[in-house]
Amino acid sequence: MFKYFEPNKIFSITSKAPKYVLFLFIVILSIGLTEALILSPEDYKQSHSVRIMYVHVPAAWISLGIFSAITFLSIVGYIFKIRNFFLIAKSLAPSGLVFNIIALVTGSIWGKPTWGTWWAWDARITSMLILALFYIMYLVAWRIFEDNDKVFKVTSIITILGIINVPIIKYSVDWWNTLHQPASINIFSKSSIHISMLFPLMTMTAAFALFSLLIFLMKYNTELIKIKNKGLDRL
Amino acid sequence: MIENLFFMNGYGLYVWSAFSFTLVSFLTLFLVIKIQYKKEKNKFIAKFGSLNSERAAFAKSQSINKEILSNTSNI
């Protein structure tokens, strides 16, 4: 099954896909921005500041999702010795870090009018900051270590340690008394968010997911060409 | 309506700065990755050009090398 993940087989797809993904991203983002900034209603308590949710929440979701995917790929790649999984994981990391930073910064901007402060060492915010540090450690490890076996091992350890933080982020608002509000959207139970706000939130999430796919494809193609450059040196 | 869109009952500065930061981050990341991609691709084309005909024929026999050379996408 894993032979289908060989770079030679998938490059023909990954090299052509970015332009279509970029087009789709622009369309969905335009719809999402129109809904988020113009069409969606203001909140009865937070007024217009609630609109920050439409960038803050999708960014946080995607950064968590990407880190989970990186961990899964690193563990499976390490166990089954699939180099390409490490390459996919490495290509996902830059967008994961950027989404994490967006979640932190927009959360801070949202905090000022809502809580009266830009920053608080609250469990949710602190655990998100720790996730950003794990992303940085992961990316730095790829830069520091030249030897493939060593970098695979080190990055796998970083992701395994980092993934412990993911459920802490998710449940921090339930486990501790935090400034951050509890989750408004639940997959398994009724969400407390109205459809007029849920729709723009989902549209923006789709746009952000497309952007991370676009960056992943571009980064993955770059990494493949980098490998091929090394191959040409050996000829 | 336009005024309301900009000022948002006094929250405009917060809302617009959050959205602007997000979009600027997107654009920066996109440009950084695009520059890296172009740099590697140009390096590949230059290296390929410097190969002698025998080595170039061997390198061209690999489908992925052909794909890289034929892919003219700007992204």
Spell out the per-residue pLDDT of chain A, length 235, in tens: 555 566 666 787 888 899 999 999 999 999 999 999 999 998 888 889 999 999 999 999 999 999 999 999 999 999 998 989 999 999 999 999 999 999 999 999 999 999 999 998 988 999 999 999 999 999 999 999 988 889 999 999 999 999 999 999 988 888 877 777 777 776 666 777 889 999 999 999 999 999 999 999 999 999 999 888 887 766 6
Shortest alpha-carbon distance between residue B22 and chain A (Å): 6
Cβ neighbours of B42 in A, within 8 Å: none
Whether residue A137 is contained in a domain is answered as yes
How many structural domains is chain A composed of?
A: 1
Q: Name beta bridge partners: A43.
A: A47
Mutate to test the interface with A, among B6, B20, B35, B37 (most CBs of A within 10 A): B37
CA-based end-to-end distance of chain B:
38
Least CB–CB distance from B18: residue in A19, A110, A219: A110
Whether residue A78 is contained in a domain is answered as yes
Whether residue B75 is contained in a domain is answered as no
Whether residue A27 is contained in a domain is answered as no
Interface predicted TM-score (ipTM): 0.91
Whether residue A37 is contained in a domain is answered as no
Residue A43, phi then psi, degrees to nearest 5: -85, 145
Whether residue A75 is contained in a domain is answered as yes
Whether residue A6 is contained in a domain is answered as no
Q: Domain span at residue B39?
A: 2-70
Q: Name beta bridge partners: A47.
A: A43
Cα separation values, B15 from A33, A46, A125, A204, Å: 12, 12, 19, 15
Alpha carbon distance A58, A44 (integer Å) = 22
Whether residue B37 is contained in a domain is answered as yes
Whether residue A34 is contained in a domain is answered as no
How many structural domains is chain B composed of?
A: 1
**Considering the entire predicted model, what is its pTM?**
0.90
Alpha carbon distance A14, A21 (integer Å) = 11
Whether residue A19 is contained in a domain is answered as no
Nearest to B25 by CA among A225, A159, A58: A58
Q: Domain span at residue A109?
A: 57-182+192-234
Alpha carbon distance B9, B5 (integer Å) = 9
**SS3 at position A47:** strand
Six-digit token string for A107: 């959360």
Cβ neighbours of A18 in B, within 8 Å: 73, 75
Shortest alpha-carbon distance between residue B30 and chain A (Å): 7
